Chain A
Amino acid sequence: MSPLFLFLSFLALLSALGVVIAKNPVHSVLFLILTFFALSGHYLILNAQFLAAVNIIVYAGAIMVLFLFVIMFLNLNAETEPKKPMLAQIAAVIAGGSLLLVLVAALRNVEPVGYDAATFDSQIGMVDRLGLVLYDQYLLPFELASILFLAAMVGAVMLGKRETGERNF
């Protein structure tokens, strides 16, 4: 394990914990952004430059901006946070604990698979290679996913459409 990997993992786990622990929702969002950066660093180590960049653009750059936007609008803070019932807290702890247990059990005996330096394809994960796989091997799933996005967009436009005679400003 390289020191870079250890550092990124440390950062990812620490900031992910920060998301959960932070009292202020804005701090939570900022920690989440930091988590995405750490994950992008992991993608870079895995030689997936395109995925790293897209992760930053889509998640850190767009979705999190909208998150932050909504949270700022709602002006959430520690006082307005609803008190959660004890039962829900206990249930969440048990559910999370069992997930941890399953993950640890599943990943406990995983051995890192080494690559043979002589046969390793250094171009794997690059944009052009990814594009070829996506548009060649997985064309149908790709197109289906884009139809899903189109449906979501049409739905959003329908919801946001102004009724006749309505004036919002």
Chain B
Amino acid sequence: MLELPALGWQSIVIFVVFALSLLIATYCTYAERVIAAFLQDRVGPDRAGPYGLLQPLADAVKMFTKEEFFPQNANTALFIFGPCLAMITALMSSAVIPFGNVLSFGSNYFFLQGIEVNIGMLWVFGVVSLGVYGIMIGGWASNNKFSLLGAIRAASQNISYELAMGMSLIAVLMISGTLSLRDITLQQSVAGEWHFWNIVKQPLGFIIFLVCAFAETNRTPFDLPECETELVGGYHTEYSSMKLGLYLFSEYVNIFVASAVMSVLYFGGFNFPFQYELRDWLVSNQDWTLAGAQNLITILGTVLLFGKIFGFIFFFMWVRWTLPRFRYDQLMRLGWTILIPLSIFNILLTGGLITFGIIQ
């Protein structure tokens, strides 16, 4: 009998993460409007269901039932392929993110992570670097100059900010010495030691990474590819119905993944302060078994990791409704003349601090 390893526990995790990414992305569209309304002192969506909670459902029905429009002389195959690719690449990167530590039942261990590979960080980085193809292909296939300009902007923006992002990651990797996201998470909290999250060791790197994450997910203030004051709708000018929906949706999935990566890399992932003290207290004072206490810590850690992720998602939206959009030359100047030199400086600084034993 051929045993398929893909049909085990990992596939359940991947399926759950997949479903969760979609659910979170769906409710991000709602959260975006609620937060926008809150920041602009408006009411926001409140018609569909209690507090407007069914608004994403109503939007989905609208998206699916709208007319599917194909522009004349557009490359039909690539026109359809563009949004598909945007969605696929957005959903792929969450496979390696550790959403929790390990659950143990007897002698069975269940890791709350899709795939544990020792190139986890590179996987995320590679998939993120592919994300721009969906936008480029869609924008080009639309046969519209505004779409093309949006696509070209997206390409040059992603290339520029990927460099700074990669170099800010290198500083993290210098500290951790591993590319595995699970190992990076575990290193941020060690039992019995006073141990800091990476944000304490890498404040500058985190700021660079955060700015680059905004640029990579095409969020305001860097949403130049869909800048409606200059480019009508940017790369998705010609898109309608669910194909447009997929583009908008992939942006929210990207935000979710970027938030998860930032939480894992800089904010301790599924670790939370005093987790080992809580476990030891449960074992010694409350007569819990060690495995049971560990499972409780794992579940709490997962819940708190999602709390961190939601915090970052809120931050993304907060910034969107606070800052105006950059001009394109300002965007390029920020990327090439500020962020890249700054990230090189950060690498040198980290190297110096490691050499003198100040951080490790």
Binding site for B on A (CB under 8 A): 26, 30, 33, 49-50, 52-54, 56-57, 60-62, 65-66, 68-69, 72-73, 126-127, 169
Contact = CB atoms under 8 A, between A and B. Distances in A.
Interface string B116-156: 01110011011001101100110010000000100110011
A129 B63 CA distance: 50
Contacts of A56: 126, 129-130
Contacts of B162: 61-62
Contact of B126 (A33, A53, A66, A68): A53
A52 to B, nearest CB: 8
Nearest to B120: A53
B152 A72 contact: yes
Nearest to B177: A128
B159 interface: yes
Interface in B272-318: none
B41 interface: no
A72 B148 CA distance: 8
Main secondary structure of the interface of B (DSSP, over half): helix
A62 B159 contact: yes
B119 A65 contact: no
Given A60-B130, A62-B162, A127-B179, A68 B136 contact: yes
A72 B151 CA distance: 9
Contacts of B152: 69, 72-73
16 contacts: A26-B78, A33-B133, A56-B126, A57-B122, A57-B126, A60-B130, A62-B129, A62-B159, A65-B133, A65-B136, A68-B133, A68-B136, A68-B140, A69-B156, A72-B152, A73-B152
Contacts of B136: 65, 68-69, 72
A98 B140 CA distance: 38
Given A26-B78, A53-B126, A66-B155, 8 more contacts: A49-B118, A61-B126, A65-B132, A65-B159, A66-B159, A68-B136, A68-B140, A72-B151
Contacts of B179: 127
Interface centre among A30, A65, A169 (most CB of B within 10 A): A65
A53 B129 CA distance: 11
A70 B54 CA distance: 44
A53 B123 contact: yes
Contacts of A54: 122
B148 to A, nearest CB: 6
